[in-house]
């Protein structure tokens, strides 16, 4: 068989086999058989050395033409098979857009944040603005300027988290209440009247139980002006209690003691769960203890930059967790920050 006949046979065989290829793996095998380094075209090219010199140019042209023909056929087949593979992938991965979508999970406000926002909205109606104060305080702002005696037990490390500082630095601690914010706010506004709400985290070195945490929240309110009386404090708390717990909720004061107020009182609200008739939550008294309040002590006013002969004021503080415990019948404060989504989702 002449080399020309052999070229014709190789072309026919190659075209027939290429027509039978159905995937890219088979196409790669076909290319190796005919166009690769050990393929049929390469073998034919090497056999040209045995031909007479006058035949080599003609046969070389035929070999090159066959190579070009098969390379073009390979390119066409490759494009066809890739398109088919792409169509098959699209068909198998196709999304039915007529199906209803899946609702993504949405975040929710934490219960403590919800209570804070309710409180802020109520006090905003009475002209109070939010004043955010720092959580790391000096001993002087946390205790001294608030009329705590130097030997007050709250200054003991068994009750307060003190921060390790250089020997010549002021004693520094994690605030035990939001009251230091009172001094900061008075320093900012004195000698002008003010009404501020002080929300935030507090820290105390105490045992964690169902009713107490080492970290908790407080919101504190402060009003300073001319001729402010205990009656103004009572009216403010009456309005607050009705808006938070429902119309008809009553408040009462019980005499108490706080270093930064004089006179001082514990504030109770009529039990909104039983209508003040007596139940397990209110211990059958008809009243629920909410927090403490009183008239700002003259020493605190003076430390804040106000003349107690010309100015007076009232202040109070409550725990949003305690309000939530009472309002929603929650039995354990540790659930608030346990990270249990099942608990938190109940109050979305």
Q: Is 264 left (phi over 0), alpha (psi -120 to 50) or beta?
A: beta
151 CB burial (10 A radius; 0-12, 13-18, 19+): exposed
Q: Which two tokens stand for residue 19?
A: 């027509």
Banded model confidence at residue 50, pLDDT cuts 50, 70, 90: low
Q: Is the pTM of this model over 0.85?
A: no
- What number is the average pLDDT over the span 175-191? 95
Q: Residue 327: what pLDDT?
A: 82
- 262-276 pLDDT tens trace: 999 999 999 887 888
Q: In this predicted structure, what is the pLDDT of residue 49?
A: 65
Strand 194-203 with 129-130, pairing: parallel
Range name among 17-31, 47-61, 138-152, 211-225 with the lowest pLDDT average: 47-61
Give the pLDDT confidence of 57-87 residue by residue, as tens digits: 777 787 788 788 888 888 888 888 888 888 8
Give the number of other Cβ atoms within 10 Å of residue 170's Cβ.
Answer: 10
Rg (C-alpha) for the chain, rounded Å, is 43
135-165 pLDDT per residue, tens: 999 999 999 999 998 888 877 877 899 999 9
Residue (of 121, 115, 106) closest to 328 by Cα position: 115
- Residue scoring higher pLDDT (317 or 98): 317
By the 10 Å C-beta count (0-12 exposed, 13-18 middle, 19+ buried), 232 is classed as middle
What was the pLDDT predicted at 1?
55
């Amino acid at each position: 068989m002449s080399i020309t006949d052999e070229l014709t046979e190789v072309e026919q065989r190659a075209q027939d086999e290429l027509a039978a290829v159905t995937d890219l793996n088979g196409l790669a095998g076909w290319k190796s058989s005919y166009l690769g380094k050990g393929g049929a075209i390469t073998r034919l090219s090497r056999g040209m050395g045995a031909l007479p010199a006058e035949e080599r140019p003609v046969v070389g042209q035929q070999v090159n033409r066959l190579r070009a023909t098969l390379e073009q056929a390979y390119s066409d087949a490759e494009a066809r098979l890739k398109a088919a593979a792409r169509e098959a992938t699209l068909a198998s991965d196709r999304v039915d857009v007529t199906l209803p979508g899946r609702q993504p999970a949405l975040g929710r406000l934490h219960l403590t944040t919800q209570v804070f926002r309710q409180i802020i909205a109520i006090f905003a109606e009475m002209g109070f603005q939010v004043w955010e104060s720092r959580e790391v305080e000096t001993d002087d702002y946390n205790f001294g300027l608030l009329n705590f005696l130097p030997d007050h037990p709250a200054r003991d490390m068994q009750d307060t988290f003190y921060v390790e500082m250089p020997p010549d630095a002021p004693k520094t601690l994690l605030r035990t209440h939001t009251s230091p914010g009172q001094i900061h706010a008075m320093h900012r506004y004195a000698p002008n009247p003010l009404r501020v709400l002080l929300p935030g985290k507090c820290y105390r070195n105490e045992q964690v139980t169902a009713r107490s945490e080492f970290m908790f929240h407080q919101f504190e309110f402060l009003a300073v002006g001319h001729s402010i009386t205990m009656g103004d404090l009572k009216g403010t708390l009456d309005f607050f209690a009705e808006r938070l717990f429902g119309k008809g909720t009553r408040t009462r004061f019980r005499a108490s003691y706080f270093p930064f107020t004089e006179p001082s009182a514990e504030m109770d609200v009529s039990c909104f769960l039983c209508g003040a008739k007596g139940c397990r939550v209110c211990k059958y008294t008809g009243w629920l203890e909410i927090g403490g309040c009183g008239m700002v002590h003259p020493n605190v006013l003076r430390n804040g930059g106000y003349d107690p002969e010309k100015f007076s004021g009232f202040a109070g503080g409550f725990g949003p967790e305690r309000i939530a415990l009472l309002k929603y019948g929650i039995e354990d404060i540790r659930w608030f920050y346990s990270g249990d989504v099942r608990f938190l989702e109940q109050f979305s």
